[in-house]
Amino acid sequence: MYNITDYQQFDNDNAYDGNDLGVVFCDGKTQFRAWSPLATAVYLNLYTDGEGDNLIETLPMERHDRGVWFVELLRIAEGDFYTFTYEFDYKDKYETIDIYARACGVNGKRGCILDLSKTNPYGWDKVSRPRCESICDAVIYECHVRDFSIDETSGVPWEDKGKFSAFTQSGTRYEGVTTCLDHLKELGITHVQLLPVFDFATVDESKPYKAQYNWGYDPLNYNCLEGSYSSDASNPVKRINEFKKLVMTLHKNGIGVIMDVVYNHTYYTEESAFHKSFPGYYHRRNKDGSFSNGSGCGNETASEHLMYRRFMINSLKFLATEYKLDGFRFDLMGLHDIETVNIIRDELNKFDPALLMYGEGWTGGESPLRSDLLAFKWNSYQFGRVGLFNDNIRDAVKGGTFNPYDRGFISGNVNAVYTLKRGIAGSVPHWQINDDMSPEACWAFEPTQAINYCEAHDNHTLWDKLTISAKHNSREERVKMDKLAAAIIILAQGVPFIQLGQDFLRSKPRLLPEGEQPNEVNIFSHDSYNAPDYTNAIKWNEKLDNIDVFNYYKALIRVRRNNPLFRLRTKEEVGKYLKFLDTGDDSFVVYKLEDAETCLIIAFNPYLDKRNLSLPEGRFYTRLNEQGKMNKFPIRGNVNVPPISAMILKRIKD
């Protein structure tokens, strides 16, 4: 490992700003470039297959300026596989896949040389991206490719279960209720956020029928797709073609595709392609030279080092253009430096300003880089064009995430109300909320930064959390709590985010090891990253069982999308159009959204009994009640808000 004492000076002297690292076709030739300034030699290895003993030849590469190594084949080597061997100090040699490889063989050990235009499905060029004028117009639905369709209740043909191709299947049903693609359309979401679909390390692609599972936060090759989601992992063309069909199908149905990217760490450290190509450069290190672990996964990447920053930008631009993606969700974005995050936003804007960009404003451990330089949530004003997950509204709604017994606003903890109001207002300053009222929850530069959620792939599902924390309440009351949580998240200013299956009470049951006695906590999984399908698969029969909950979520999404007042874009608009009303009880939350055309009253009642609401002047009708229904019967004066429920009323124009 090389101990570079001044990375800024090193980058000034050695960083390469070309866009041709990796493989390039040029005038009937195939060119290869690798960057490794301190290598004493670099070799290109060509193979006939993605694995096995089938070496064609090994060619020495020629050193060019700024640490770039180059070799050229006098033919188009399409279909061949390749690796680079890096030599250091004239003795140590490391063979590895090209970090810039855009296609690969089984388990990502070798890159594949492809003309990617030949992977395009028929009609690819004719399908355009769905457009969002503002990120606040989005309703994001988080999906794991395998979970989506692997269960027998999905209605997807067996050969497509758990694969990219499941997203292209229409007409699937379980006893009359829609599943998979048709479910997405029926629910009314605008974007699907896919958990990682790049090539990850811990699923053996050579054994497609082996019971294997992972969320995918174990990055192997960032620019290649995961082979276990393809019908044939040994065929690089198929995995790309099938993913493009997924994107194309969703686009045809008006649904955007967001990719979950994990540039903050690599699964392997010394054995990673990055470390083998330039030991020590791409990862941060502690003062003693050891790898720092801000990710909690054994290492963290160094976005402040110019060539890793350029790698991230190159990768994102490639993914956005080649796969027509509509946005990116950044895992542990708090580990990336603020300058890099802003540069990425600038570069994505050059391609398409409508591309969504948001991430987690925290880390998984302590980083050696100063916290004021990192993209933490509390530094949000320094990268105001980028969204952040709103853990404040999450915990206010359902209770502390890391204490399964903790209750939130929906389950009777009235102390959470000020944090809740901050979230309702998009986590921006509001003239009715004093600075001493949950100041930590007032963090957003604009409401466009607030990604509001109460459930994601991490931790307990909302339904499991309620089953634990509100175990003394009846099931009927817990269902009402779930619906109230949905109303708060979907109607709050900012961007609503929902996990697949949340809309029909998704649970993650845990297989208990032999001898472990069940209790109200351990029967549910709070960290199912590698749990089997028994835990993670979507059981579509639960949609049938909880169709009233699904219909309520669907109604909320329709109301949000049909009323611009739920999608205010600036803090000035929030201050102008949103007003909290005095109910005489801070925990009976009522607010008004009003502009020149529309007046809406929104009420959230967390109590086990009804609450009386005094309406402003005028006649109103119920736009949405506790069943998700509309009632146009005129109302004046007062209205009762049922126990544990939300209500939306709309003024009738005279």
Q: Which residues are catalytic?
A: 331, 360
As a whole number of angstroms, the distance between CA 74 and CA 324 comes to 32
3-state per-residue secondary structure call for 234-300: CCHHHHHHHHHHHHHHHHHCCCEEEEEECCCCCCCCCCCHHHHHCCCCCECECCCCCECCCCCCCCC
Query: 494, 426 in Cβ contact below 8 A?
Result: yes
Helix, strand or coil, per DSSP, at residue 330: strand
3-state per-residue secondary structure call for 210-230: CCCCCCCCCEEEEEEECHHHC
**β partners of residue 42:** 86
CA-to-CA dists, residue 383 to 339, 341, 369, 529, angstroms: 9, 7, 17, 30
**β partners of residue 356:** 327
CA-to-CA dists, residue 41 to 64, 276, 277, angstroms: 12, 13, 11
As a whole number of angstroms, the distance between CA 443 and CA 458 comes to 22
Query: 149, 274 in Cβ contact below 8 A?
Result: no
**β partners of residue 259:** 194, 328
Instruction: Round the CA-based radius of gyration of the chain to a whole number and report it.
Output: 26
Helix, strand or coil, per DSSP, at residue 332: coil
Query: 31, 72 in Cβ contact below 8 A?
Result: yes
For residue 280, the tally of other CB atoms under 10 A from its CB is 18
**Count of residues making up the chain:** 654
For 550-584, give the DSSP string: HHHHHHHHHHHHH-GGGG--SHHHHHHHEEE---S
Relative to beta strand 638-641, strand 611-614 is antiparallel
Residue 386 burial by CB count (10 A; 0-12/13-18/19+): exposed, middle or buried?
buried
Relative to beta strand 387-390, strand 356-359 is parallel
